[in-house]
Structure 1
Amino acid sequence: MGQGSHILIQNRTDQDWICFHNHKYQMDGWKFPKKIEAGTEVRVYVEFCEGVFKDEHDDGGEVKYRFASDTDETPSRYIEFAATFKHDRDVYVKLVDVPSKPEALNKTIDLGWRHDGSMPFALYGSKGNYFPIDPGNWMQATMDAIGEYTLKEIAIPGSHDAGMYKRNGHTLFGEDCNTLTQTLSIGGQLANGSRYFDIRPVISGDQYYTGHYTKAIKMTWQGANGESVSDIIKEVNEFTSKRKELIILNLSHDYNADVGNASYRHFNEEEWTGLFGQLSKINGLLHSEANDLTHVKLNDLLADGSKVIVVTEKLDKSQLGKYYRKGFFTSSEFNVYNKYADTNSVSQMMADQIKKMKEHRAAYFLLSWTLTQSHREAATCFLFPSDSILDLAKTANANLYRAFDEISGSLYPNIVYIDKFDSPLALSLVLYINALVCDN
């Protein structure tokens, strides 16, 4: 038995895909369907062979699909899924003369390899104009379909504890394994499709960072700083300068870590004002008088380019002062239902979140597909690496496909929220949801 993973294939075109070629060598898992119907998604298990007396570098397979309208026995235009093991395991998709505009698509899309995970691929379009979605440009690419819908009517992907992809200073017990929730910067998460970011600002060394801190024992705070606010501003501005996308930064869990480990406190008015001053350097901050931004159409929000919304939890408009509604909004203008399951069990987390989604379908609902370390895991994960937050995230993300079966055109989350946002996996679920909404 060797390493295995799943390819999550979405056929969001107007044609069935028909298999006309399927070959494998030394692959223990390679069961592609004979047909992938239009508007459906399939999950295909792929496993490399690592048996005794077999050279794993010989492992490989390829399967080719033609469009149903093309009846040629040896079609010249097709979609190919392939696996190789040259220097490492790899899965990729080839688009060969796929009809598109203004010209046919000929490109290779590397899906990489995620052991015990999922690797998403989707193809969109109709009437001979087919295209894969660029995760960094997915809103603009699907605007013809979703533009006249409000945020409350569609879904977007989100990143939990978004700034914690590296440590920039930490307490005695603030290790990678119990503080890091991401593997990419905010810019990297944006490129993979995330549009809602959980930003937890802290003050450390008179500078603003993101942070992940917990009151571990009485009068003692433990944790670490993550990405700096100045770096986040640079990355957001670089991203929006080339695109037409909506970004939401949600501020919560603020702490001043310069006042002593036993005395961490929330920001005072001066400290909030200093943070707002820095964040006001973000380009494209949305100015709006809307009482509920989730009920504004996407076309209106993005009428003149990319926009950024900064939401402040537990602050009122008087505390926002001159910044109020000039890019900065209270949670009453962007009210999200966000209640995590607080468990390290996938089955318990899933049951909890699906139950809450059904009970709060009228709310702007955040599906928190995240696992939480137990107290023992948080305290000892530096001895047991498989107990880290990122390992729990890997397990949660590998099971995100299970949410597909719980979702319909009338029951779905508005934010799909994960740790370890290092692939378009959450986006694949979001695009599925939005297609359901538009088809209703």
Structure 2
Amino acid sequence: MVIILSKGEGWAEVYYCFMKSITVTLTLLCLSIFAHAQNLSFSQPVNFLPAARTDKAIDITSFKGNYFVTWKEAGPSGSIHVCYVGKQHDIRLLAKEASSGIEKTAFAPVLRVTNNHIYVLWLGTDGSLKYMINNSDTTFNTQAIGTVNFENSPKLRSGITATVVNGRIMIASHAANKNDMVVAFIDADNNGILKPATLQTVPNKKSSEYPFIVTLSNNTVRLCYYNDQGIYYTDLNTNTQAWTDQSPVSGSKTRVSPAIYHIFNTTRLFYIWKDNKKDNNVYYATGEEQARSLTGHPLPGYFKTAYPVAVCKVDAKKFVMAFIGSDQKLYLSFFTTYDPARWMEDTLFPAKGDLTLKDIVIPGSHDAGMSALNGTGGKQAGSINNCNTLTQKLNIGQQLNAGIRMFDLRVGSFKNSIYTKHSSSDCMTEAMGGGYGERFKDILDSVKNFLDRNKKEFIILTFSHFCPKETSANEVADYIFQALGKDRIYNNQSKSIDHIKLNDLAGKVIVTFEQYASADKLIDSNSMADKSKTFLNIRRAYAATNQINKLLAKEELFFTSMKSGVSNNDLIRLDWQLTQSSDEAALVCNDFQDENVDPVINGLMLLTNVIKKNKSIIDMATAGNKYLPAKVNEWISTGTINKNNKPNILYIDVAGAWVTDYCIELNGTPVYN
């Protein structure tokens, strides 16, 4: 399949609004695919609209800032579904699905937008071209199914694609015979009703499947298709009706319609297709419009599909790829022109180098080193497990590569070494229970190696919850200074946080300890108070709740209280954690009795699990994170968040590239400019 994205088409960043997408975008792959070394970063595929199933391609697009998806039900023939999914961050709340009722199709429907209307087009079971039109910005008239009349009533087969050329819809399909491809220009009346049209056979080009079509200019369109020799394309001059000779995409083999798109507001095209082998691997190629020879490259192994892929534009730097998995579910993957591992270099420098930390927002990680459980402790150590201890899915090195730049770390001694920890008390011996996460040496090695590779990125490490009888602040400070070296640690030289420019921070790590400082070791002091004289005071409101409504109310009140502004040394941190209640942490997270646990506790665990479902910290973060972008956008629109009280850190569990993406977006909004 080749994917085609016409100029002006696109799909919003639905990523933020799907619970699944928040938790599983774990690994980003940077692929250098442009001749001028522009990078593409692909996120792992995520399932969305969990109840939907199809055995044909899906399509996605935007209309007046609202976003739509269309697909057919799985089976020999099925109803056509179209789903309004709201604006960029509203999908979870506003999804409205409609179907074509008794109308059926055996082929994939497509969406196409003109100046005034959005259409769903599909082939009927009799080979005719059918369509529905929207009757508002969010709904379709599913009762009024139109049919495009062609001369001699020819039948179409295999499927259709469409583009818009000078306001006219142009469709590409396959004739009822074995190999002919056909195209047609279709005009609409003032009510959007499509007028009769004439099908034209594409001369001297053959394919056993329907082609993809994309607009190159006001008078040129490109058709992409395959035959036994590989993938080819040909261009039509819409003024002269002349077709060019076909050109190959080198190294391409497929038996599914390939797709082609415009990307990144350039004259470059992006081709993508499924290999002709049974492994369903996906390949891509990119090149200038007039390139006559292109080379295919494989996507990572987690991109697999037997059907054509759809690509839609999110903004000038971001696209979303949609496809159908082998399980017939609908999947998305995002790809961007910036590399999350060096997003600061790509989006902040040099234009914003003279700003300070108070002028921007960065992603932060709560209990950042708790991506693994390497040991347990406390009075009820037997009740400690992944469910009640782990807060992150990525280790620190992976979080750095995903764009996270502020890390909350708590450390303690374990097995004669220093590890991160998460426990109910600062000292593990006094805690009911707790766990040890990543080894501290591994974290500092990751930080050092990351900064060596990325000279413009900067990092904030904040340390708290010290237990002097286990590991003192002095010991940790020594360890950091020796591991990172003074050249990597930022020396504030008595400057306040509001006078330190981003240019000064490039390639550095700010290290702060709670209520502790060491000038010799370049350790600054931090605090969390309404007012403080420390180098860095973090303003935050911790909700301490497992209920999202209480979290939202707490944070809204927090920002309302600071509308007039904060002190010069304050960074505002949006704390977005749903925390387990005591019975959930100790009881719900333990399904089975443990002979090492007090019998009374075992009995409570058993009773609790009878009446409550297991819900881990990761599960709660999954549920809570989906609200974050939508609510922050809402608070900005209502003035609850303004230039005086805007968050500087989005501080979360299950940190990943999704929150980096959102911070980049926020940094481009008026509140941060």
Match of residue 177, structure 1, among 387, 392, 397:
387
Match of residue 490, structure 2, among 286, 305, 311:
286
Match of residue 581, structure 2, among 365, 368, 374:
374
Distance 2:401 2:483 in 1: 20
Matched residue SS, 1:288: coil
* CA contact 2:419–2:438 (8 Å) conserved in 1: yes
Distance 2:339 2:416 in 1: 38
Match of residue 559, structure 2, among 333, 336, 357:
357
Matched residue SS, 1:146: coil
Matched residue SS, 1:335: strand
Distance 1:413 1:225 in 2: 30
Distance 1:136 1:66 in 2: 38
Distance 1:273 1:296 in 2: 22
Distance 1:307 1:22 in 2: 44
* CA contact 1:153–1:437 (8 Å) conserved in 2: no
* CA contact 1:152–1:294 (8 Å) conserved in 2: yes
Distance 1:71 1:169 in 2: 65
Distance 1:314 1:378 in 2: 29
Q: Give runs of aligned pairs for residues 31-430 of structure 1, distance below 5 A.
A: 31-32=83-84, 41-44=88-91, 71=166, 73=169, 75-76=214-215, 96-100=261-265, 122-124=314-316, 132-143=337-348, 144-171=350-377, 172=381, 173-215=383-425, 219-243=430-454, 244-255=456-467, 265=469, 267-268=471-472, 271-281=475-485, 284-302=488-506, 306-316=507-517, 320-324=518-522, 328-331=523-526, 332-360=534-562, 361-362=565-566, 363-380=570-587, 381-383=589-591, 386-400=614-628, 401-407=630-636, 408-410=641-643, 411-421=645-655, 423-430=656-663
| Distance change (3 Å), C-alpha of 1:220 and 1:23 | closer
Structure with more helix by fraction: 1
Distance 1:223 1:349 in 2: 24
More displaced 10-residue stretch of structure 1: 424-433 or 212-221: 212-221
Distance 1:369 1:433 in 2: 17
| Distance change (3 Å), C-alpha of 1:124 and 1:70 | farther
Q: Amino acid of the residue matched to residue 368 of structure 1? A: D
Distance 1:357 1:438 in 2: 14
1:24 aligns with 2:234: no
Distance 2:69 2:623 in 1: 30
* CA contact 2:353–2:502 (8 Å) conserved in 1: yes
* CA contact 1:390–1:420 (8 Å) conserved in 2: yes
- Identity between Structure 1 and Structure 2 (%): 27
Matched residue SS, 2:88: strand
Distance 1:199 1:188 in 2: 16
Question: What is the RMSD of the two structures over their aligned residues, measured on CA atoms?
Answer: 4.2
Distance 1:406 1:17 in 2: 24
* CA contact 1:284–1:307 (8 Å) conserved in 2: yes
Offset of 1:322 from its aligned partner?
1.7
| Distance change (3 Å), C-alpha of 1:99 and 1:76 | farther
Q: Could you tell me the TM-score, scaled by structure 2's length? A: 0.48
* CA contact 1:338–1:366 (8 Å) conserved in 2: yes
Matched residue SS, 1:315: coil
Matched residue SS, 2:571: coil
* CA contact 1:365–1:414 (8 Å) conserved in 2: yes
- Alignment length, in residue pairs? 374
Structure with higher RCO (Cα < 8 A, 6+ apart): 1
Structure 2 segments unaligned to the other structure (5+ residues): 1-12, 18-60, 75-79, 98-105, 117-163, 171-213, 218-258, 273-283, 285-298, 304-312, 319-334, 527-533, 592-608
* CA contact 1:26–1:59 (8 Å) conserved in 2: no
Distance 2:491 2:165 in 1: 50
Structure 1 segments unaligned to the other structure (5+ residues): 10-15, 50-57, 79-93, 113-120, 257-264
Q: Amino acid of the residue matched to residue 147 of structure 1? A: G
Offset of 1:427 from its aligned partner?
2.2
Offset of 1:389 from its aligned partner?
0.9
Offset of 1:348 from its aligned partner?
0.6
For 1:90, the equivalent position in structure 2 comes to: none
Matched residue SS, 2:614: helix
